[in-house]
């Protein structure tokens, strides 16, 4: 036992001392912070106000295209030629030319820009004209404008989750999807990342020829287990660092963000915008930040339960796969030789990732249920399902099977490992490796 501790210590310390470990640990949280900060900052800082000169040959739109958001519509009596000429000199950005027969010919609209007209701008102006055109046509058909106003209804459904005691909680399926996706991806990544670290560690010991010295001091199984646990703890350390640093980074960036947003709001107040419009602006800023919907989802499933399950499923999934990776490492002499054997092991990992996309859509389907129960796919797929709410008995069943699963794979891997590490010079086949399982002593 004492010797396993020594091995764990060595595996852990040599890896944590590496520069690459710290680069990854520090860089990733900043990337995460950047991913949600940058869109918000871009949104807040963007100054997209445009002056749009409207040349309305049809005379239908006069006074109807109200300035809205970033677009200020100015009516002009100039001819198209004059407007084109003036555009170059003036502060105006865009000229819209509406042809005379616009009612008959909806294609009779031209948008001219100083610079290339972006697709967003095109859609905004098009939508505006299209809306008004529809109103005009409806009015011509004899429908009252008041009826039209009443018809503008926005449906915004609220989703709720029933509590165990029958009460209801508002749920946020968008946030749950994001959170589930993040969990799934992290576990998917860690299976590969740390699994292959174990494999490469085994290959290193074998190709360095240190292995025989070590296994004359400890049992091969102890060495394998020590390595797996040591690398697993490196993974946990990395997750912990990521968690703490992401939290710190996001605290810093959100205080910067709220400062920026406040500035912008003040500017809008000064510009004399109505309260409604400011509220709208604040809401749209909020929608740019995925963190908000995630924090809503976290309120739904308890954070403690989520972290608890994440650690257990990480460990279970990691132990399950890394022992298989260790067995592969023991059978080969170089990472390139390992490729052919890795394929069958990576299939279930990739499969669970593919299933995860499906589970995000239908978290309660039978496929989602079985994928989160069967040990090979459960580490990733249960974590994907978890933010949507999973009953405790399912988690207990899936964890029990996962524990049995990794005991099984570790046992099997140990059998292959103790033979493989001392085999040099011949390329093993699957048939050969299977035989190793049944070797005695």
Partner 1 sequence: MSIILEAQNVVKRYAGHTALSGVSIQVPQGSIFGLLGPNGAGKTSLIRIINQITGPDEGQIILDGERLQPKHIEVIGYLPEERGLYKKMKVGEQLLYLAQLKGMPKAEAVEKLKAWFIKFDIKGWWDKNVEDLSKGMQQKTQFIATIVHEPKLVILDEPFSGFDPINANLLKDEILALKEKGTTIIFSTHRMESVEELCDNIALINKSKVVLSGEKKEVKNRFRDNTFNLEYSGALAPIEGVFEILSAKNVEGITKAKVRLLDGTNANQFLGQAIQQVDLKAFNENIPSFNEIFIKVVGEDANTIL
Q: Which residues bind partner 1 (CB under 8 A)?
A: 3, 6-7, 10, 14, 204-205, 208-210, 212-220, 422, 424, 435, 439-441
In DSSP notation, 227-263 reads HHHHHHHHHHHHHHHHHHHHHHHHHHHHHHHHHHHHH
For the CB of residue 343, give the shortest distance to partner 1 in the complex, in Å: 25
Question: Least separation, in Å, of the C-beta of 427 and partner 1?
Answer: 16
Query: Please, what is the minimum distance in Å from the beta carbon of residue 416 to partner 1?
Result: 14
Nearer to partner 1, 146 or 440 (CB): 440
Q: How far is the CB of 331 from partner 1 (least distance, A)?
A: 15
Q: Closer CB to partner 1, residue 15 or residue 128?
A: 15
Do 316 and 352 meet the contact criterion of CB atoms below 8 Å apart?
Answer: no
CA distance 3 to 226: 9
- Residue 323 to residues 195, 219, 236, 293, Cα–Cα distance (Å): 8, 16, 17, 37
DSSP string, 71-109: EEEEE----HHHHHHHHHHSS--EEEEE-TTTTT-TT-E
Nearest distance from C-beta of residue 328 to partner 1, angstroms: 20
Nearer to partner 1, 169 or 435 (CB): 435
3-class SS of residue 301: coil
- What is d(CA 184, CA 164) in angstroms, rounded to the nearest whole number? 26
Indicate the residue among 366 and 425 with the shorter CB distance to partner 1.
425
Which uninterrupted H or E stretch holds 288? helix 275-288
The 94-98 sheet, strands edge to edge = 71-75, 50-56, 94-98, 109-113
Q: Which residues pair with 109 in a beta bridge?
A: 98
For partner 1, give the closer residue by CB, 6 or 74: 6
The DSSP bridge partners found for residue 159 are 171
Residue 18 has what DSSP assignment? S
Nearest CB to partner 1, comparing residues 206 and 385: 206
Q: What are phi and psi of 169, to 5 degrees?
A: -125, 140
The least distance separating partner 1 from the CB of residue 7, rounded to whole angstroms, comes to 8
**Least distance CB 14 / partner 1 (angstroms):** 7
- The nearer residue to partner 1, 210 or 307, going by C-beta atoms, is 210
Question: Whose CA is closest to 386, among 183, 172, 162, 168?
Answer: 183
Smaller CB separation from partner 1, 355 or 413: 413
- What does the DSSP assignment read for 403-428? HHHHHHHHHHHHHHHHHHTT--SS--
Q: Judging by DSSP bridges, how do beta strands 168-171 and 159-162 pair with one another?
A: antiparallel
Closest distance of CB 337 from partner 1, Å:
18
Compare residues 308 and 424 and give the one whose CB is closer to partner 1: 424
Minimum distance, C-beta of residue 430 to partner 1, in the bound complex (Å) = 15
Between 230 and 379, CB nearer to partner 1: 230
CB of 289 to partner 1, least distance (A): 43
Classify 378 as helix, strand or coil: helix
Torsion of CA 84, 90, 92, 96, to 10 degrees: -10
């Amino acid at each position: 036992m004492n010797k396993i501790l020594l091995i764990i210590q060595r595996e852990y310390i040599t890896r944590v001392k590496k520069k690459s470990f710290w680069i990854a640990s520090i860089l990733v949280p900043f990337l995460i912070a950047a991913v949600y900060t940058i869109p918000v900052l871009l949104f807040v800082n963007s100054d997209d106000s445009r002056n749009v000169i409207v040349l309305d040959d049809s005379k239908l739109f006069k006074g109807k295209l109200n300035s809205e958001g970033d677009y200020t519509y100015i009516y002009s009596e100039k001819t198209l030629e004059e407007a084109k000429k003036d555009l170059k000199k003036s502060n105006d950005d865009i000229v819209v030319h509406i042809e005379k027969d616009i009612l008959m010919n909806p294609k009779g609209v031209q948008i001219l820009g100083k610079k290339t007209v972006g697709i967003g701008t095109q859609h905004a102006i098009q939508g505006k004209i299209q809306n008004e055109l529809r109103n005009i046509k409806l009015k011509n058909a004899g429908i009252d404008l008041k009826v039209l106003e009443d018809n503008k209804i926005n449906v915004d459904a609220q989703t709720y989750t029933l509590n165990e005691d029958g009460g209801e909680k508002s749920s946020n399926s968008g946030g749950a999807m994001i959170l589930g996706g993040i969990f799934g991806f992290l576990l998917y990544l860690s299976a590969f990342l740390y699994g292959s670290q174990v494999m490469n560690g085994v290959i290193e010991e074998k190709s360095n020829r240190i292995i025989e010295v070590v296994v004359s001091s400890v049992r091969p199984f102890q060495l394998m287990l020590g390595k797996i646990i040591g690398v697993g703890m490196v993974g946990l350390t990395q997750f912990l660092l990521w968690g703490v640093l992401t939290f710190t980074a996001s605290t810093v960036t959100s205080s910067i963000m709220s400062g920026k947003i406040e500035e912008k709001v003040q500017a809008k107040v000064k510009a004399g915008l109505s309260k409604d419009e400011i509220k709208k602006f604040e809401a749209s800023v909020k929608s740019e930040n995925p963190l908000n919907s995630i924090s809503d989802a976290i309120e739904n499933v308890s954070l403690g339960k989520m972290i608890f399950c994440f650690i257990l499923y990480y460990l279970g999934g990691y132990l399950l796969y890394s022992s298989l990776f260790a067995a592969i490492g023991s059978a080969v002499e170089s990472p390139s030789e390992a490729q052919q054997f890795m394929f069958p092991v990576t299939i279930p990992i990739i499969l669970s990732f593919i299933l995860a996309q499906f589970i995000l859509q239908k978290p309660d389907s039978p496929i989602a249920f079985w994928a989160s129960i069967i040990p090979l796919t459960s580490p990733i797929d249960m974590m994907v399902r978890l933010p949507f709410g999973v009953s405790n008995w399912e988690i207990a069943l899936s964890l029990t099977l996962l524990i049995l699963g990794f005991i099984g794979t570790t046992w099997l891997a140990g059998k292959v490992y103790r033979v493989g590490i001392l085999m040099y010079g011949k390329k093993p086949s699957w048939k050969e490796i299977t035989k190793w399982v049944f070797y005695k002593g």
